[in-house]
Every structure is written in structure tokens, then in C-alpha cells.
């Protein structure tokens, strides 16, 4: 498949200065009855000289069921590897109708949208229209109060711009209802951030902030002269034939077969809130994409195989720094890296938007990928449980007996999920 013309541009001296410092398996799915599980597929190598374990799809199913036990009405996962596709589902995609979870259904992917935005911005770097280490104010004069904040600082969450969602969703359901149908301009969202104290000096430390990717959206639209959704479509969605992926803003609907999302209130015992319909205008280029498991597998696989970026840009994107003290979680340019208990390293992003948790990850060679979703939010235990699908898919079954000194063989507990949005429960 031939991609858009920017892929064929030679990388010039501007790109080098700025960046310094296959076929996808066919989609075949089978569905499971509510609260049970469904299907299965193999894998390939984690790294050279390391045998690749077969995915533990029963372990994936257990992670989905654990997410349900922690409050999700349903969950699903889809794994792709050299030998094909395997899927698992659990619970329901619609509490009212009782319709079973379905891997063909679309849902809101939240902050996985940040990887889409990063790809578009890095393509502009590939085209020589942007420099990673240039000040943001070079392209958007006077936008930010500090000329030291660079494009790279935005993509790595090291700008120091405060995350306006902390105050916006201080009370989860009232905060959500106040913005559910609201349409923001980018500048309005940035102003909310700038009204708060900055969190760090530019470049000093990682501090996740949705404001960074609001500015990324502003950059994309300034440089291309086109809406960010159109650039997603032209540069990613159409070339990869992502038929169930779209940037949906400010329309509140998810068209076609879809999963309904359910938000947990802060108060224990309060009923779930159906949060499916919303503008997601509070996020936009930080989180307003809708997709399905097959398209997410295709996207992450294509990205890791170098089909969307030059080798230099992909190297920059996958150059990571730690985000916590566990030394297992890292962030690059709009991309997370998780180091799993078996030594496997997977790249992708997590996503949280009201009513949905998402994981979309692939190995660096792009030969294996996993997408997983649970239809709830403001329930950290459900998000953490869903994250256990990564260990099962990429590390396989845990050995029945293992030497105490072997980290790869130990039953390593799943670390708490990283928060892409403020959570109170």
C-alpha cells in the first residue's frame, strides 16, 4: 500500500538537527456470551535471541473478568501475532439491552488519541515544516508565557503546563455533566491551563498534562491550515484503511455498532452514569478519537513497523525516559513504553475518557500487538485489572515453579494503572 507523498520525502539537515538527541494479520473474531470469554492466537520474539512465549489468552480472559469484578460492565481484548488473531470478550457492551461485548464495536479511545496527534506532528518534522527543539512560540507567536517551552516538551509531557482537567473533574460526575455537551475552542482550554501555576520548569520533569496535546492540536492546525481531524484522516486513517476510526468532535454520537460507556460516580454505591454521548470537546486532539480493537492493532503495528514515520522520527518517538520509580514505565514522544515481567518491552498508549479504559500496545518490531478496553472509568481497580492483559498476552503463561531469583518467572503483581485523567475512586 502506498502512503501519502510525505513518506517519500528525503530527510534533510533540518530533520536530522531536529530529531537528534508488512502485512497486518487478517481480522477474525469470535464473540463470547456475557461474563464469559471467547477466542485465541500466537506470537513472535520479544528481542533477538529470546524465545517468544505463546500468548496466554486464558490469562487475558482472566484480566477482563477481573476488570468486570472491579466494576466494568464488560471488557474485551484482541491480540495479533504472526499466526493470526485471537480475541476475548466478557460482559456486556450495553447494560440496557444486555447485548454482549463485541470486538467489532467502536468506542472512545481517550488518550490513545495522543499517539495519533504525535504521528501527525512528527510527519510534519519529517517534511521539514517543524523542528522538535524549536520553541512553540516560533510557530504560534506569543501563545505560551515561556519561550523555553519546545515542541519536544509538549510531546514528552515536560512543558510544565498544568493539566486543566484536574480542576474540571475535581468532582467526577458534576464535572463531566458540565462539559458533556459543551464545545470549547483550543484557546479556551489553554487559558484554563495557564490560569493555574506551572508544574515544572520546561524540560525539568515528566508531568502528564492534557494541555500539552491541546497545543499539539493547535500546532497541527497552524502549520497545515487544516482541522486536526482532517489531518488524522489524510495521514493515518485513509492510508491504513482504518474503517472504524474517526475523530468525532463536536458530534456527541458514536455511529454504528458501538460500546456504551459507564462512569462511576465518586460516591460509593451511587448508580453508574451512561457517558456514551458527549462532545469530548474538553480533550479534542488530546483524546477525541473513536476506534475499535482491529483498527488499534493495525495502527500500532504499522507505527512500529515504520509505515508512518521515517526511521529517524520513529527512533525519536521511541526514545523514552522513566515516568515513575518502578523503572518499568516510560514515556517517549506521545508514546508509552512498558517493560513487562518477562523482559518484553511494548510500546503504545493508555486511554481514559468518561466510560472507557483502553490499552493499545505493540512490540517494537510490530509483530505482536494487543488492544484492550473496559467500558467504565473513575474506577482505578478496573483499569489496573485490564492492564494485566499485557502481561498475559506478551509474556505468556507463568511457569508452575520458578527459581526465586528469576524475575521473569515470578508472579509479578500488576502495578496500579497510570492515570490519563483525574480519578477519585
Query: What sign does the dihedral 101-305-158-126 (CA atoms) show?
Result: negative
Residues 6 or more apart whose CB falls under 8 angstroms from that of 68 comprise 35, 74, 75, 90, 91, 374, 382
Q: In what order do the strands lie in the sheet with 289-291?
A: 107-108, 289-291, 246-247
Short-list 111, 115, 86, 116, CA closest to 25: 86
Catalytic residue flag (residue 113): no
What is the Rg, in whole angstroms, of the alpha carbon atoms belonging to the chain? 20
Cβ atoms of 173 and 151 closer than 8 Å: no
Short-list 183, 170, 351, 169, CA closest to 261: 351
Residues 6 or more apart whose CB falls under 8 angstroms from that of 240 comprise 295, 298, 299, 302, 307, 308
Cβ atoms of 24 and 302 closer than 8 Å: yes
DSSP E strand boundaries for 222-307: 246-247, 262-263, 273-274, 289-291
Q: Which of 70, 111, 281, 369 is catalytic?
A: 111
Following CA atoms 182, 356, 363, 326 in sequence, which dihedral angle do they give, to the nearest 10 degrees? 100
Tell me which residues are annotated as active site: 111
Amino acid at each position: 500500500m502506498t502512503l501519502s507523498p510525505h513518506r517519500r520525502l528525503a530527510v534533510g539537515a533540518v530533520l536530522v538537527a531536529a530529531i537528534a538527541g508488512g502485512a497486518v494479520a487478517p481480522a477474525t473474531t469470535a464473540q463470547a456470551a456475557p461474563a464469559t470469554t471467547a477466542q485465541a492466537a500466537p506470537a513472535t520474539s520479544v528481542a533477538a535471541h529470546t524465545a517468544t512465549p505463546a500468548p496466554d489468552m486464558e490469562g487475558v480472559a482472566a484480566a477482563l473478568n477481573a476488570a468486570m469484578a472491579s466494576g466494568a460492565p464488560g471488557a474485551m481484548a484482541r491480540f495479533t501475532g504472526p499466526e493470526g488473531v485471537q480475541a476475548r470478550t466478557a460482559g456486556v457492551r450495553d447494560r440496557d439491552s444486555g447485548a454482549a461485548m463485541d470486538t467489532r464495536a467502536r468506542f472512545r479511545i481517550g488518550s490513545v488519541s495522543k499517539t495519533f496527534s504525535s504521528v501527525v506532528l512528527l510527519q510534519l518534522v519529517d517534511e521539514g515544516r517543524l523542528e522538535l527543539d524549536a520553541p512553540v512560540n516560533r510557530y504560534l507567536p506569543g501563545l505560551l508565557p515561556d519561550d523555553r517551552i519546545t515542541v519536544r516538551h509538549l510531546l514528552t509531557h515536560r512543558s510544565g503546563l498544568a493539566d486543566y482537567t484536574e480542576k474540571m473533574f475535581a468532582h467526577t460526575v458534576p464535572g463531566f455533566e458540565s462539559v458533556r455537551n459543551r464545545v470549547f475552542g483550543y484557546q479556551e482550554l489553554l487559558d484554563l491551563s495557564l490560569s493555574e501555576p506551572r508544574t515544572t520548569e520546561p524540560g525539568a520533569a515528566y508531568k502528564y498534562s492534557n494541555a500539552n496535546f491541546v497545543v499539539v492540536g493547535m500546532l497541527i492546525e497552524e502549520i497545515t491550515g487544516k482541522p486536526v481531524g482532517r489531518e488524522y484522516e489524510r495521514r493515518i486513517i485513509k492510508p491504513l484503511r482504518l474503517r472504524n476510526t474517526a475523530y468525532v468532535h463536536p458530534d456527541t454520537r458514536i455511529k454504528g455498532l458501538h460500546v456504551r460507556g459507564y462512569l462511576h460516580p465518586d460516591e460509593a454505591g451511587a448508580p453508574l452514569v451512561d457517558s456514551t454521548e458527549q462532545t469530548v470537546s474538553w480533550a479534542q486532539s488530546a483524546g477525541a478519537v473513536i476506534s475499535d480493537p482491529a483498527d488499534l492493532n493495525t495502527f500500532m503495528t504499522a507505527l512500529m513497523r515504520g509505515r508512518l514515520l521515517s526511521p529517524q522520527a520513529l527512533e525519536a518517538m521511541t526514545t523514552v525516559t522513566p515516568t515513575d520509580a518502578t523503572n518499568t514505565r516510560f514515556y517517549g514522544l506521545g508514546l508509552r513504553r512498558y517493560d513487562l515481567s518477562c523482559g518484553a518491552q511494548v510500546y503504545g498508549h493508555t486511554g481514559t475518557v468518561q466510560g472507557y479504559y483502553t490499552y493499545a500496545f505493540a512490540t517494537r518490531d510490530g509483530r505482536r500487538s494487543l488492544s484492550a478496553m473496559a467500558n467504565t472509568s473513575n474506577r482505578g481497580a478496573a483499569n489496573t485489572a485490564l492492564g494485566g492483559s499485557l502481561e498475559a498476552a506478551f509474556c505468556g503463561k507463568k511457569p508452575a515453579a520458578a527459581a526465586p531469583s528469576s524475575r521473569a518467572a515470578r508472579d509479578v503483581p500488576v502495578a496500579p494503572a497510570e492515570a490519563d485523567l483525574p480519578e477519585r475512586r
